[in-house]
């Protein structure tokens, strides 16, 4: 290896005495003098290693000096402080409250001082009043299309029109999930704000069935709301509320699960429509026996004697005498009466509304009214004076809401069940 030096603190001289020949091996001596520029100097490998090691030490020291010292890790939060933070967050009650003015329209100017909330008769300090986009589960009854005593019945096509009417009136910021139930429960459109996607699902995926699994649909709707913000949860049923026997879930248990979801329930009911009489047709004095089967082969078989079925049907002046159908309709009429009372209680308990239209046009108009009511809802928050952590398991707390401003009308749920495990939402 050849190196060129202009100045060096070392000199190269012969080893041993000055009288030795120049061809002798040269050694490094600590002398200061100039070495001519460009003169080739031969260095030993040991000397090169020492220089290289010194250079590496200098570079490493420079790099370490430029680096900032690492930041100390934050000390972990003590368990007591963590528990206290969770308690503060989950101790807040979020109460949905519908606020309308004296004309029944949404009042956009509600403030905490306008609202009085009594929990078990004790006034609560209101922390906030906010208008938050709603989350709506739309549940459509497309099963058991049995005509009532007047001849009218549920119709899938009418149910679809009512649902579309409600969707068109909802705010664009509203999240909607759509379900139908007949022989089973089906989610036909997951959560979305896309109205056109939901309307397309209504037009292409609705189907009718012989059975109506209402209790199963109630539980499925409650499950859909589990991950939605509390205080903004709504369920809209378009149904007659009649449940076909044989379902997987008991109706009482289904209502408990819906109550635990703390949702506001709105119902557009078929119970009054199916009691109405259909339009009269021109009378005829002709008496004839109706076919005893819907099977065209059996109906047109000339070898079948008339009246061989257990329940033959005859028509006189367009009035049908069918004993089996008459018994079935009477049973349906009794179920409708019971169902209507149950639905009214469900809507009142949750702070929602029930609509009892008598015609299809009324159903469509009242669907728009239900949408406006959903849009008029506020979320009122307060920290109860009696802590939720001190509540018994399954404890029910009664709620009363009143307006402190003239011309303002407020409505909310009658109460709520304290959750056994506070939600982290």
| CATH code where residue 211 lies | 3.40.50.410
What mean pLDDT comes out for the span 394-412? 93
User: Does a structural domain hold residue 320?
Assistant: yes
More confident residue, 61 or 236: 236
Residue 265 maps to a domain? yes
With pLDDT > 70 as the criterion, what percentage of the chain qualifies? 66
Q: For residue 182, give the 3-state DSSP assignment.
A: coil
CA 399 to chain centre: 24
On whether both 33 and 139 belong to a single domain, the answer is no
Task: Write down how long the chain is.
Answer: 425
On whether both 181 and 266 belong to a single domain, the answer is yes
The 10s digit of each residue's pLDDT in 120-132 is: 999 999 999 999 9
Indicate the DSSP class of residue 419.
P
- Domain with 338 in it: 132-277+314-376
Residue 293 lies in a domain: no
User: Is the four-CA dihedral 205, 209, 211, 212 of positive or negative sign?
Assistant: positive
Percent of the chain's residues with pLDDT above 90? 50
CA atoms within 13 A on the CB side of 400: 7
Q: What is the mean pLDDT of residues 395-417?
A: 93
Mean pLDDT value across residues 237-254: 89
pLDDT at 146 over 80: no
What is the full DSSP assignment across 30-76? ---EE--TT--B---HHHHHHHHHHHHHHHHHHHHHHSPPPPPPPPP
Q: What is the pLDDT of residue 246?
A: 80
Quick check: 143 and 181 in contact, CB under 8 A?
A: yes
Q: Is pLDDT larger for residue 68 or for residue 61?
A: 61
Lowest mean pLDDT across 3-7, 224-228, 389-393, 402-406: 3-7
Closest alpha carbon to 239 in 179, 306, 165, 323: 179
How many domains does the chain contain in total? Answer: 2
Domain identity same for 149 and 263: yes
Is 137 found in the same domain as 59? no
Given a cut of 50, whether residue 262 has pLDDT beyond it is yes
Q: Predicted confidence band at 417 (pLDDT cuts at 50, 70, 90)?
A: confident
The radius of gyration of the chain from alpha carbons, rounded to an integer in Å, stands at 42
- How far apart are alpha carbons 262 and 235 in whole angstroms? 10
Among the candidates 19, 36, 65, a domain finishes at: 65
What pLDDT does residue 35 have? 47
Tokens in use for 293? 């089967």
Q: What is the mean pLDDT of the chain?
A: 78
Give 58's contacts (C-beta < 8 A, 6+ positions apart).
Answer: none
More reliable by pLDDT, 330 or 118? 118
pLDDT of residue 65: 58
Q: What is the pLDDT of residue 398?
A: 95
- How would you class 194 by CB atoms within 10 Å of its CB: exposed for 0-12, middle for 13-18, buried for 19 or more? exposed
Q: What are phi and psi of 421, to 5 degrees?
A: -125, 110
Range in 135-149, 211-225, 300-314 the model is least confident about = 300-314
- Distance from C-alpha of 332 to C-alpha of 20, rounded to nearest angstrom: 132
Helices 251-260 and 214-224, axial angle in degrees (round to 10): 20
Shared-domain flag, residues 54 and 178: no
Instruction: With respect to residue 161, please indicate whether it lies within any of the assigned structural domains.
Output: yes
Provide the sign of the torsion angle of the four alpha carbons 276, 279, 281, 285, taken in this order: positive
Output helix, strand, coil percentages for the chain, rounded to the nearest 5.
Answer: 30, 25, 45
Residues 144 and 232 in one domain: yes
- Is residue 304 in some structural domain? no
Last residue of a domain, one of 26, 46, 65: 65
Confidence category of residue 91, pLDDT binned at 50, 70, 90: confident
SS3 188: strand
Same domain as 155, residue 46: no
Q: How many Å apart are CA 163 and CA 370, to the nearest integer?
A: 11
Q: Per-residue confidence at 87, pLDDT binned at 50, 70, 90?
A: very low
Least confident of 20-24, 179-183, 326-330: 20-24
pLDDT in tens, 183-242: 999 999 999 999 999 999 999 999 988 889 999 999 999 999 999 998 999 999 999 999
Q: Is residue 220, in this structure, part of any structural domain at all?
A: yes
Higher pLDDT, 303 or 20: 303
Q: Looking at the structure, tell me whether residues 185 and 48 fall in a common domain.
A: no
pLDDT at 23 over 70: no
49 with 138, same domain: the answer is: no
Query: Are 44 and 143 in a shared domain?
Result: no
State the pLDDT at residue 247.
80
Is residue 116 scored above 90 in pLDDT? yes
Between 7 and 402, residue with greater pLDDT: 402
pLDDT surpassing 80 at residue 253: yes
User: 380 to each of 19, 111, 113, 365, 407, how far by Cα in Å?
Assistant: 108, 10, 11, 29, 19
Question: Looking at the domain assignment, is residue 229 inside a domain?
Answer: yes
What is residue 7's predicted lDDT score, i.e. its pLDDT?
A: 44
**DSSP per residue over 252-286, as a string?**
HHHHHHHHHTT-EEEEEE-TTGGGSBPPP------
Structure tokens at 158: 């009418």
Q: pLDDT at residue 110 above 80? A: yes
List pLDDT tens digits, range 362-375.
999 999 999 999 99
In a domain, 103, yes or no: no
Average the pLDDT over 261-276 and give the result. Answer: 92
pLDDT tier, 330 (very low <50, low <70, confident <90, very high otherwise) = confident
Residue 332 and residue 195 share a domain: yes
pLDDT at 351 over 50: yes
Question: Which of 23, 40, 65 is where one domain is finished?
Answer: 65
Token look-up 């469509």 returns 364
* Same domain flag for 24 and 159: no
């Amino acid at each position: 290896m050849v190196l060129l030096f202009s100045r060096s603190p070392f000199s190269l001289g012969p080893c041993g005495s000055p009288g030795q020949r120049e061809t002798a091996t040269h050694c490094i001596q600590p002398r200061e003098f100039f070495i001519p520029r460009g003169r080739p100097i031969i260095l030993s490998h040991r000397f090169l290693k020492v220089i290289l090691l010194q250079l590496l030490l200098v570079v490493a020291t420079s790099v370490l000096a430029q680096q900032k010292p690492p930041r100390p890790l934050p000390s972990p939060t003590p368990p007591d402080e963590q528990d206290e933070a969770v308690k503060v967050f989950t101790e807040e009650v979020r109460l949905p409250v519908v606020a309308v003015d004296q004309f029944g329209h949404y009042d956009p100017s509600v403030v905490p001082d306008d609202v009085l909330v009594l929990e078990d008769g004790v006034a609560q300090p209101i922390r906030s009043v906010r208008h938050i986009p709603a989350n709506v589960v739309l549940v459509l009854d497309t099963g058991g299309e049995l005509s009532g005593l007047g001849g009218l019945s549920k119709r899938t096509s009418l149910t679809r029109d009512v649902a579309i009417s409600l969707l068109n009136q909802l705010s664009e910021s509203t999240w909607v999930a759509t379900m139908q139930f007949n022989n089973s429960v089906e989610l036909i459109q997951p959560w979305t704000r896309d109205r056109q996607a939901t309307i397309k699902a209504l037009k292409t995926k609705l189907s009718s069935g012989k059975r109506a699994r209402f209790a199963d649909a109630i539980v499925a709707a409650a499950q859909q709301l589990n991950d939605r913000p509390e205080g903004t949860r709504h369920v809209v049923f378009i149904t007659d509320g009649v449940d076909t026997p044989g379902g997987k879930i008991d109706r009482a248990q289904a209502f408990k699960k819906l109550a635990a979801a703390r949702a506001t329930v709105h119902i557009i009911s078929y119970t009054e429509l199916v009691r109405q009489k259909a339009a009269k047709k021109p009378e005829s004095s002709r008496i004839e026996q109706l076919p005893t089967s819907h099977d065209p082969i059996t109906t047109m078989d000339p070898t079948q004697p008339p009246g061989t079925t257990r329940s033959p049907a005859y028509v006189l002046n367009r009035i049908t005498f069918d004993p089996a159908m008459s018994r079935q309709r009477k049973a349906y009429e009794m179920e409708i009466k019971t169902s209507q009372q149950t639905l009214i209680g469900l809507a009142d308990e949750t702070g929602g509304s029930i609509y009892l239209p008598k015609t299809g046009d009324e159903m469509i108009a009242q669907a728009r009214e239900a949408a406006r009511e959903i849009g008029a809802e506020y979320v009122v928050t307060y920290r109860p004076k009696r802590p939720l952590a001190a509540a018994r398991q399954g404890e029910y707390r009664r709620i009363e809401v009143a307006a402190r401003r003239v011309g303002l009308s407020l409505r909310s749920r009658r109460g709520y069940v304290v959750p056994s495990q506070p939600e982290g939402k």
